[in-house]
Amino acid sequence: MKKLYISLILLLNSNYLFSEVLPALSGAASEEPHKAVYKWSNSSYVGYAWSTKAGITNPDQSFFTPVAPGETDDDTLGGISYAGISLSHNMCHWLSVGVGYEIYNGFVYQSYHLFSSLASGSFGREIINSNFIRSFSLTHQSALFSVYVDFPHEWQPVYGNFTITPVLGGGLGVGINKMTNFQTLVLSSGGLPYSQLSTLGFNNLKNSLAWFVNVGVGFKPKNTTATFGLSYRYYVGGMFSSGTQFVLNDPTNEGAIVDAAPWTGVLKTNQLKLFLDFEF
């Protein structure tokens, strides 16, 4: 038993010799420990999206009342806030890939048009003989695969207690667009003011390709794994579409449900994003 204790003491002393004493004598112990390398990061973010014109056109002017000369059906969908979350993995010293989910408040299309010409009173088509507003709502969410560049330390200057990190990336995935409340509101052209819902569309869900490019700057406080920052994104949420059935509520059609070509467009936005990342 005594021999076993002596052997263990010699083994421990030899480990101490090679791990502590010799490095100290050689000066290796004075070196700073290696910086921790984190392989994962999660990001939470909020932002604001300004839509551009969506490429909306009248799909069938023989059915839907055309706008007056010089006017267009195309318009923006307004500006709204959004939020998202993502999880990324560092694949190598210069590249990270991730997946994320985003949800948006409702976009709104609303386009006012002047009365252009008297519509014939034929059954089975939209009949509008006054100024009108065509509108719908659009809800959007997305699931996205992303790729970001991990810039070398030489490209990350330090100012005070913050490391400045460039942000550059992009991604693609599935945009989920739901068009709701499609309607045409007929306005009075004189006399007593009134309005009438002339055309109503059914809700419709459409999935399509979504993609984005992102550029910005992050600020990482000293001795933390957190980074916060601001970025600009150009985001395309994919195509949206109405259904193919409409309710015609004018005196001639009296609520008839008819089939017609769908109204379509593409969700395109400019965005500002505030983000907070944590490495682990």
Fold topology of 35-279:
Porin (2.40.160)
* Residues 165-214 pLDDT 10s: 999 999 999 999 999 999 999 887 655 556 788 899 999 999 999 999 99
Give the pLDDT of residue 32: 37
Q: What are phi and psi of 196, to 5 degrees?
A: -145, 130
Domain boundaries, the chain: 1-31, 35-279
Amino acid at 119: A
* Residues 225-268 pLDDT 10s: 999 999 999 999 999 999 999 999 888 888 899 999 999 999 99
* Residues 99-155 pLDDT 10s: 999 999 999 999 999 876 655 557 778 878 788 999 999 999 999 999 999 998 888
User: Cβ contacts of residue 256 below 8 Å, gap of 6+?
Assistant: 123, 124, 247, 248
